[in-house]
Structure 1
Amino acid sequence: MAGSLTPTAHPTARPGGAGRPRTRLPALRWLLLRLGGAVFVVWAVATVTFFAIRLIPGDPAEAIVGGPGSQASDEALAEARADYGLDQPLPVQYLQYLGRLLRGDLGRSYALRDDVTTVIGENVGGTLTLAVASLALASVIALALAVWSARGGRAAGAVTSLLEIVAAAVPHFWLAISLILLFSSTLGWLPPVSVPGPLGLVLPVVTLALPLSGFLGQVMRESLLTALSSPFVLAARARGEGDSGVFWRHALRHAAIPAIGLAGWAFGALISGAVVVETIFARPGIGRSLLSAVQGRDVPLVTGIVISVAIVYMIVTTLTDLADRLVDPRLREEAR
């Protein structure tokens, strides 16, 4: 009788099979949450941009017919409003706008008379190249400062802390002008405006990378110092591993985890900084296009660029989360 009450395994059950659904379910839930969050962010960005651009003084119809200086007649302005649906009530315009977005239609630029998708496609490559190169340079500078601070003693720690604070506080426009005066006007080493080729990238990349390296350096330095006093480092030393091995094999990997987590935020900061940098260095990109579109009340182009940047930002943050899970074993255990 006692044996008949003992539960028996199902004939088709396999060892470890029960663990797989529990492993896949959190991953699927995480993916669905990320997808839902991305949809909400895109909707929120589109809504805020739609209403914010209409708070700017001026008539969007003037941008359609050539700008405020075009001296268009009232009849021409009325015809432009009718053609683009600007004569409809604002809630109706908003619903029509969302409907076009659901179909993937970003509209046509008022000023450029071209599809917004085409305009973004022609300019996004330059901005992404600038952002990726700046993020790579900022990460290298921050890592160098963190290593020097951790291995150089108190004096090195004080110097690196000062350098990080100064770098993080420098405005992009001031840094860009200073670099142009030094390396272009005085030394004549680099062109003052962006030109095709690697030389045209140097000053814009340095301008974006230096302030970001200050923020990343502070995070990496604190994380590295915390790692050097952590139990796993003490355990590695107790096993007989040398200081160099402990530093480069264990502590440095731990210090890189917060920097990876901040990569999404850093990418967003670089895109916003590109508006200033691309304008100063006359470099083609979506940042410069966005500034021109806002000044000219080019509503379709403004909304298209902002939504595209939001989508790219969500993709980058998702990739950084995945990288965190690959690098940090604690996150992998939580996922299981």
Structure 2
Amino acid sequence: MSDIFISYAREDRDEAKTLAELFQQQDWSVWWDRSIPPGRSFDEVIEEALGAAKCVVVLWSKNSASSDWVKSEAAEGLHRKILVPVRIDSANVPLEFRRLQTVDLSDWKGDAGHLELGGILEAVAANIKGVVQRPPNEGKRRKPIKPVLTVLAIVTLLAAGFAFYKFAGGGARLGSRASPSAIPENASPAGEELMRTPELGLEFWQRDQKSLMFATQAEKPITRVFLKRAPFEIRCPHFEGAAQICAWSDASIFDAIVAAKRIEDIPYFSPGTGRADTEFGSASLGLSNLSHHHFVPERRRAISSQQDSIFFSSLMNVEDGKKLTDWPTVYLVVFVNLNQTDEIDSHEYECLILDFGK
């Protein structure tokens, strides 16, 4: 049976076929063509293919969002924690699936330069225990691939060359107009570069540019974010619950949070420690190891139907109320009670280090 199961509405067959071909170019097995062999029932074949799959990719659209079949297939993938959701038009994702980070291909025109395509491949590879391969050698005899895949190969090679150029010291310095996303001078990445944080799907942005993030090599998963000494925003999926953010001057706050620990036993997330003192767009990130910012959905700025923004204009010491003009390194814990329980789950929080450049 196939490793990847694509769930889609029949009206979206062309989009499903394009993604299936993208996966097949990675030499991954895909079940997507819903032709039923003689003597077999439709639901029997679907159930067999779905049960054997290691990854379920669901294509959310106006058609699939109202399909009981698609929602049932997606629910199975969600239950088994192998679901990769993809939105292919402007339709809202069904309510029960909104807590997952959804890949947004609503503006995709078939070109492989779309930034989210790499994220799809990485997410699928993680589920099927595979790797994203380089484009096939020119010397191999293969069927001609579509232009979309050719462009993807070129983009992959350019990205690799760009990364080498930067880490070799040839890149522009922080703030250079020649390269707006230049790696800060103090950057010393110890792990893989991330498109977003692994658990909550967070992104950090400054002046409409995404900031660099790297996974650090530590006992506890920690994401290191490189920022300029300037206002920044955290972009997150449209969670139904509050985004709770604790910031502090050292890593001791990381030790206070662990999976299966009761929320009331975490000093800065226990009941009564939340702060909701300012509206979005004018907040100072307050440093305190005994309290947290409490951003309910109404206090987050919706920038799309799937993503919210939390803006911080400065840093502040909560104890004395003074602004920190030197922009020190900040240690951050972000928690969202996705399961609505009294205990922390490992998929509900992120530990981050915000490294502000010189």
Structure 1 length normalisation: TM-score? Answer: 0.23
Give the helix-richer structure, 1 or 2: 1
Using CA pairs under 8 Å that are at least 6 residues apart, name the structure with larger relative contact order, 1 or 2: 1
TM-score by length of 2: 0.22
